[in-house]
Amino acid sequence: MTKKLLIAGAALALMSSCNNMENPFLTESSAPFGAPEFDKIKNEHYLPAFEAGIAEAKAEIDAIVANQEEPTFENTIEAMEYAGETLNGVASIFYNLMEANTNDEMQQIAEQLSPMLTEYEMYVSLNPALFERVKTVYEKRNELGLDKDQMKLLEDNYKGFVRGGANLSDEDKALYSKWSEELSLASLQFSKNVLAATNAYTLHITDTADLAGLPEFVKTMAAETAADKGLEGWAFTLDAPSYSPFLKYSSVRDLRKQIWTAYNTRATSGEFDNTEIVKQIVDLRIKIANILGYETYADYALEERMAKSKDTVNGFIKDLLEPSMEFAKKDVADVFAYAKKNGFEGSQLESWDFSYWSEKYQQAEYSLSAEELKPYFQLESCIDAVFGLATRLYGISFTELDNVPVYHEDVKVYEVKDADGSHLALFYADFFPRASKRGGAWMTEFRGQSIKDGVERRPFISTVMNFTKPTADAPALITHDELTTFLHEFGHALHGMFAQGRYGSLTGTNVSRDFVELPSQIMENWAFEPEYLNSFAKHYQTGEPIPAELIEKIVAAKNYLAGYAQVRQLHFGYLDMAWHTLTELPAEGTVEFEQKVLSKYPVMPAVEGAAFSTSFSHIFSGGYSAGYYSYKWAEVLEADAFSLFKEKGIFNTEVSSSFRENILSKGGTEEASVLYRNFRGHDPEPQALMEKLGLVK
């Protein structure tokens, strides 16, 4: 999930033959609701639109600076908020499509844009005359009678300038600009390498013996993947819907090891090597933090989050990690003991064994398998059920539209209406994997909510996932885990849809990184509620409701391997903090540094040469640097928050209305801790999560 794109860049000479009338970014959209005209957008439109947007934004900034009147909230802070409309519009589309539907030409354009946008960011953030106006207003803030959102906008702007180098000397400003541009390019290259390394690998199988253990739906999907690639037999890729089932079901250990190794050595060497790029990114972040007066990058990043400091985050991780280790080791020991009883001959479970044997152990313990559940979770039924949950909680409705342009044929668009029938948002849903889309799942927006000159603009929200595609023999059937992912990303989408406020930079998901996951993670709880599952889970062939005993097994298995899963997630946060609390680069290589860090809390045997850092997009090309802990932080919040639904009823509209009013609609207009207390009446405690996961003695 990404926050609202903050634009930064600089103008180049105009270099396109397209004039404004031909460029869909530079003319008013004729699509319903003013939606993006994806059917008209071509690669050649991007650069001219960025150039025009940058020129327009610079002119708007220049006009603010040139204003001879005394600086006021309206002529300085508000004027800045509304500057760069064209630039923000084209960037929100380009960079979202870079993740969801990219191509080689777009990636080349992104490289050209990086120095342009970085220069523009410096044009604003290092503009002494502009900062002086902001500072003048800030110093008088208590005399201006500002509303809460206005005060927050003013404070955010002032701090943004300071954190962006406004107080630096001219010499240091030049260094800061140089390092920022280099960081932008390095992050872009990191992302390109991960995608390329992922797409470069195929496990090609032609011998039916090598399909041993694989369910029919996995083999069917692999046959279609092979056909798409012009291959005979079956093909498996490193995309999650292909990679994960292979590890879970294949009884051919050597092939499990092969595909696991390919996935976990992505971008560690060869043509798409990210090992030095990781160190370059970390080094640049250290330099930027230092020049701004911070000891580490974590100190810089966490200042604007709920946690506030690296000591708080490290303590939070430690307080969850250490008591969870005992449970994680028991989880692994239990799976190993089961494997030994059932034919496993190794002296220990390796990482490529764990998914396979834990799936078999889960079936033995709970008689539950993903394959058994999938027929009850047809994607179309799940879409209706997820929308239906929102209707039941919040009264909103969804209508699929066929007259709104999309960027790929797989994308569906829905109009979202509020309980009173008023238009709330457009919702784009992109469900299936493809080579042009990165892995994972996320929510984003093509336009956020805002009010300008008394006119409100409602948002265009998007969720992007990588679910199993329909085959020639069956519709799209998703796993229960994928249903949980759908609910998660839809929670982010609700945060965007319900946005209310004047200022786009404070609405929707524009909140602190360690608060933004609360609306998403709380939604996952419904995936384990019998009353909810009973309302829609029906066999796609027979129409029979999901048996009560299967639901009982889902609930009973909810905390299966909870200790192992908790430690694995905390490992990622621990590794993130290890990279971003460095004061200088480590002597070791990237892979060696990671293995040294994680060796303090071992659960599975280390594998020489394997590393996650080189493909850890969240922290090296996404927005989660020194912030991956926020997933667990938000889990603590949601465990405490959902307990109120459990107490009052999982469809209780009094509770959901309060959650909408105090959390979902407020965005970043107030401090996150205040918003949470307004909803729950108290601060959350980590023990709520440990109890929810059953990780207590």
- pLDDT band at 21, cuts 50/70/90? low
Residue 2: the pLDDT is 32
Give residue 525's identity as a one-letter amino acid code.
N
CB 346 within 8 A of CB 353: yes
Question: φ and ψ at 204, to 5 degrees?
Answer: -100, 120
CA distance 465 to 431: 5
CA distance 423 to 431: 24
Question: Which whole number is the average pLDDT over 453-465?
Answer: 97
CA distance 514 to 491: 15
| Residue 245 Cα distances to 123, 341, 377, 419, 604, angstroms | 49, 23, 16, 40, 20
User: Could you count the other beta carbons within 10 Å of the beta carbon of residue 111?
Assistant: 13
Residue 6 scores a pLDDT above 70: no
- Supply the mean pLDDT for the chain: 94
Residue 37 scores a pLDDT above 50: yes
Residue 468: the pLDDT is 85
- Residue with token string 């990781």: 278
Distance of CA 309 to the CA centre of its chain: 22
Domains of the chain: 20-167 (1.10.1370.40), 201-265 (no CATH), 272-368+561-620 (1.10.1370.10), 375-556 (1.10.1370.40)
User: Could you count the other beta carbons within 10 Å of the beta carbon of residue 261?
Assistant: 15
Percentage of the chain modeled with pLDDT above 90: 91
Residue 346: the pLDDT is 92
Residue 11: the pLDDT is 27
Q: Smallest Cα–Cα separation from 563: which of 335, 353, 373?
A: 335
- The structure tokens listed for 283 are 């080094």
Q: Write out pLDDT tens, residues 381-437.
A: 999 999 999 999 999 999 999 999 999 999 999 999 999 999 999 999 999 999 999
Q: CB-hemisphere CA count at 13 Å for 186?
A: 21
Q: Smallest Cα–Cα separation from 195: which of 467, 444, 437?
A: 437
Residue 4: the pLDDT is 33
As to burial, measured by CB atoms within 10 angstroms (0-12 exposed, 13-18 middle, 19+ buried), residue 67 is middle
By annotation, the residues acting in catalysis are: 489
Residue 3: the pLDDT is 32
Q: Write out pLDDT tens, residues 331-385.
A: 999 999 999 999 999 999 999 999 999 999 999 998 888 888 999 999 999 999 9
- pLDDT band at 252, cuts 50/70/90? very high
Question: Which whole number is the average pLDDT over 158-177?
Answer: 94
Q: How many residues does the chain have?
A: 697
CB 449 within 8 A of CB 493: no
